[in-house]
Structure 1
């Protein structure tokens, strides 16, 4: 199903701005309360699974844009985070609904001086981190850790002379710079600061068989845990030897996986090490220090195969499949297909790493790391119909489908395990020469309730306003709606409906329409406040009709004889979408 991008919507859908007049009987408070007693269950979102797309909201940031977008399954933009800098390159939504965003300064290779931002749902900048020193420059991907520290990929700024001393063939270096990759773990110390509390560097784990008079000389095939500084044996321009473009963290294993594109491999390292251990070959839970625990995709890189054994070609977005999704703990990767001998096409690969009973990666001496082939692959029926030679990504969804971003094709699509396309979206942002995206991520997100409509002055002052606590999660069942600033010590009613309207009513504005449902009458306190605990689970509760995916509009009606006028008024409204 193709969807057309929709520009950001206002807080109240214009299609719901009804202009019809109110029936005379509805001008009476009693008649209005009688109307609220009607309770007809509305239609609900269709069940997911099988050939249906996975519910959720999709996050993306075009590489030329300064704005991050969140869309629903229909393609409507439900939220944006405008910014100052372009993407550099990845963006993530966190559990508290804040946005962790890698940004790109000018100049800067997929990162640069702008660094990393943490942005609240309302756009407030909570944290900005810049590169820690002139000899380090972050780029591409970032990853949040359970302790809220952030992992980032970074270039280590070195010279060509450093590379030659480490054993690199001088004929394969163009220019005076050498920028191998490293990983930094950053701990927030203030709104514009952070400390590097752990680090790992590729150059601490290199080997070479080119020049016995230089450092790191050895037999490459005997050391698959090491990285051949002369692979690939191609000319490196600008020092970008590895071009690592993805990082992911496995909390259960305390391991990190990265994607060095130029090696056409994925690498797994131990994060349980100290920084000192990460620079060496012993220590950590694995006992191997910072050496590679596992690698896959191109056995040529460690002397265990030929071009015929290569499986990855300029890949992106290497990751462990999340818990709760089919294939959890397997590895998923977007295989771009750059210079693939079989032709220019992309694929998505799922692999099962070989481990023993103790959880250690297994390797037969002299052999290549398994598996010999992926456990699942997606490629288009006509392979060249799906091809993005750079950027791009894939994500396994809870229902077993896989969300794919074919970056240069400006195409997001979702496929079933059997390869059927059940959803697609073509990002097209006005004003950009193209809308290519580094990645797209789907979230089973509980959107915070949003204020809509308007309040009106009352006997207490500026008017009554709706509030909330807890979340709109059906499974958490902890949502509390509230009102403040209504008339003091007066009866009132929370009510809800499935449509947003704006109609003058009494001394205020009626903001809820469609099929409406009333909650029990309650008395405001002397400050004009009241609250109601929403119960999704009690079948006898009016709110039990609310199901995951439903959007409802809440408002508070209350008497206000002290204000004069009609003697009753209304608060503003809350729009609430129920999530899982």
Structure 2
């Protein structure tokens, strides 16, 4: 397995010099802080899915028959799950179709996101459309609806055979509405007293009252330990947690499941105005995307990450956040009837390569094992990694759109767009047994990638050097013949007691006293240090 290794500060300076040549696609920036791993993305305007390493080299490519619709995931068994315009497909590492299901032909208007479940089933975000009179029957103010209204529903599909599926669970917004407009309707009530319901008559001030896309869910994620689902409703500026442990019938009601709340909302956050618990100053999310739990075992495990878009009418920048819900005895806590926490656990907004991060549509972010963040800027087709202190450590710009772009070619906005990108750590189980040998760049060339790839070869070479330890008879032996720019012996006080330059061989004679030392190997400015004992 070829892994991206950490390099020295000296090497970072070298990389910075290379970056001054200003490539416009592929790796635009890299230093020694990028997390070891591989990034998966699907361009919005072609049929490919790519997996790349930190050098921007292609590790694998899957080619489909249609544009994405618009998400893909690498599963723990090494297969790829992708939503297309009309097909949900699972393909193996070699691009062989294992399962293909026509969603439109089966009456499933899937959009934006899907979520693989541990049992092999798939959660889909599905558009749920109602005629004007139908939604008025649920207490919708006739002045706040056009000819149609789109809510959303969550459908759980169980793949069957090679091209079939069964709906085994379903959750709908329509089943969990409340309104205080029409007292003759069954769902009439006091909105303030029912934060578990959605007010069908709330209208965001930045949308027309008759806008068709009322909820506009754009992401879905699953928490296995809680058996819960989180979704992001862009046009309500809120994210919601619902119970997945319910039966199909319970999901449409308000009892049953692990929380005994049925399909009612367990936790909501971002815009308490929707349930009449606060004003504009209390709104925290603005057209957000990609709400998901941080994975178990990660530094911020259990928290929720989200990309907070903003919009041209009210906030001309985007931000990324971590949120920490509070739960005790199967209940998410509230403060004065508003769900906690009051504010974000962590936030960042700023510039990436000198440009203010601002994406008022799509985009995403997620946390990595070490706490670093991956940020995807859709319109730029750009993926970056930052530390929790906001330091940029890696930026990659998708070179693939309706064609492959060249290293120094400028790309018009959205010609290389990607909805989201997923970075998997190098030890992700889905890579087990897979060929991770780099297969060249997607673009024609990239100076930063070339330097990175060369350094990785040297890094692997120097990492494979082994010392026969302890050293006996002043003969320092190695496990194989090696070629190095320099070998140094350093005592515990930091003094260099022995140096050999331009070394070639499998052993070297040293003349030092008995004791503990460090041996230092150097090749092409990469340095490795090993502790040795001299008898």
User: TM-score, normalised on structure 2?
Assistant: 0.71
1:412 aligns with 2:383: yes
Q: Which residue of 1 aligns with 2:231?
A: 258
If asked which structure has higher relative contact order (CA below 8 Å, sep 6+), I would say 2
Q: How does 1:59-78 map to 2 (within 5 A)?
A: 59-78=40-59
**Superposed displacement of residue 430, structure 1:** 5.2
Q: CA RMSD in A?
A: 3.1
Q: Which residue of 2 aligns with 1:372?
A: 342
Distance in 1 separating the partners of 2:26 and 2:301 = 33
CA distance in 1, matches of 2:289, 2:401: 27
> What's the offset of the Cα at 1:295?
0.2
Say which SS state the counterpart of residue 85 (structure 1) adopts.
Answer: coil
How do 1:518-533 residues align onto structure 2 when only pairs under 5 Å count?
A: none
Aligned length: 412
Q: Is 1:117 aligned with 2:89?
A: yes
Given that residues 131 and 138 in structure 1 are in contact (C-alpha distance below 8 angstroms), is that contact kept between their aligned partners in structure 2? yes
SS at match of 1:122: coil
Assess if the C-alpha contact under 8 Å between 1:317 and 1:393 holds in 2.
Answer: yes
1:204 pairs, out of 171, 175, 197, with 175
Report the CA distance between 1:429 and its aligned residue.
1.4
- Asked whether 1:328 is paired with 2:301, we answer yes
CA distance in 1, matches of 2:127, 2:277: 28
Matches within 5 A, 1:394-433: 394-429=365-400, 431-432=402-403
- 2:151 is aligned to 180
CA distance in structure 1 between the aligned counterparts of 2:346 and 2:45, rounded to whole angstroms: 33
Q: Aligned partners of 2:436, 2:357: CA distance in 1, in Å?
A: 42
Aligned to 2:253: 280
- Judging changes above 3 Å, is the alpha-carbon distance between structure 1 residues 4 and 74 closer, same or farther for their aligned structure 2 residues? farther
How many Å apart are 1:338 and its aligned residue?
2.2
Give the one of 257, 263, 277 matched to 1:290: 263
Deviations 1:143-195 (A, max 9, x none): 111101111111123212111111112222222x2321000111011111000
**Cα distance between partner residues in 2 of 1:6 and 1:78:** 14
Alignment check: 8 A CA contact 1:149 1:187 kept = yes
Deviation at 1:367, TM superposition (A): 2.7
1:235 paired residue among 174, 188, 208:
208
1: CA distance, partners of 2:400 / 2:72: 17
Larger Rg: 1
TM-aligned CA distance change 1:6 to 1:396, over 3 Å: closer
Paired residue secondary structure (1:174): coil
Q: 2:77 aligns with which of 96, 99, 106?
A: 96
The corresponding residue for 1:311 is: 284
Deviation digits for residues 268-302 of structure 1 (CA, Å, limit 9, x no counterpart): 00000001000000010101000000000000010
Deviation at 1:395, TM superposition (A): 1.3
Q: 1:197 to 1:231 in 2, by over 3 A?
A: same
1:391 counterpart residue number: 362
CA–CA separation in structure 1 for the residues paired with 2:87 and 2:257: 29
Q: CA deviation at 1:103?
A: 0.9
Q: Does the Cα contact within 8 Å between 1:135 and 1:158 map onto a contact in 2?
A: no
* 1:355 CA displacement: 1.7
* Corresponding residue to 1:437 among 407, 410, 418: 418
Q: CA offsets per residue over residues 21-77 of structure 1, 9 Å max, x none?
A: xxxxxxxxxxxxxxxxxxxxxxxxx9x9xx611011101111112111111101122
User: Counterpart in 2 of 1:56?
Assistant: 37
Distance in 1 between the 2:383 and 2:213 partners?
Answer: 29
Distance 2:135 2:312 in 1: 26
**How far off is 1:346 after superposition?**
0.3
Partner of 2:491: none
The match for 2:527 is none
- For residues 202-239 of structure 1, give each alpha carbon's deviation from its aligned partner in whole angstroms, at most 9, with x where no partner exists: 00000011122234111100100000111225436673
Counterpart secondary structure, 1:409: coil
Give TM-score, length-normalised by structure 1. 0.66
How far apart in 1 are the matches of 2:41 and 2:436? 25
Distance 1:542 1:85, change over 3 A: farther
Select 1:150's aligned residue among 106, 119, 122. 122
When residues 425 and 222 of structure 1 are mapped into structure 2, their CA distance, relative to the original with a 3 A threshold, is: same
User: Following the alignment from structure 2 to structure 1, what is the Cα–Cα distance between the partners of residues 80 and 351?
Assistant: 36
Secondary structure of the residue aligned to 1:195 is: strand
Show the counterpart of 2:492: none
Map of 2:272 onto structure 1? 299
What is residue 521 of structure 2 aligned with on the other side?
none
CA distance in 2, matches of 1:76, 1:348: 27
Structure-2 change in CA distance of 1:430 and 1:116 (3 Å): closer
Given candidates 227, 237, 240, the residue that maps to 1:267 is 240
Q: Which moved more, 1:269-278 or 1:123-132?
A: 123-132
Q: Measured at CA, do residues 326 and 340 of structure 1 come closer, stay the same or move farther in structure 2, by a change above 3 Å?
A: farther
Structure 1 residue 381, shift from structure 2 partner: 5.4
Identify the match of residue 161 of structure 1 among 133, 150, 154.
133
- 1:136 and 1:157 in contact (8 A); partners too: no
Unaligned runs of 5+ in 2: 1-15, 404-413, 438-455, 465-477, 483-535
Structure 1 unmatched runs, 5+: 8-45, 105-113, 453-497, 500-513, 518-540, 546-580
For residue 232 of structure 2, give the secondary structure of its aligned residue in structure 1. strand
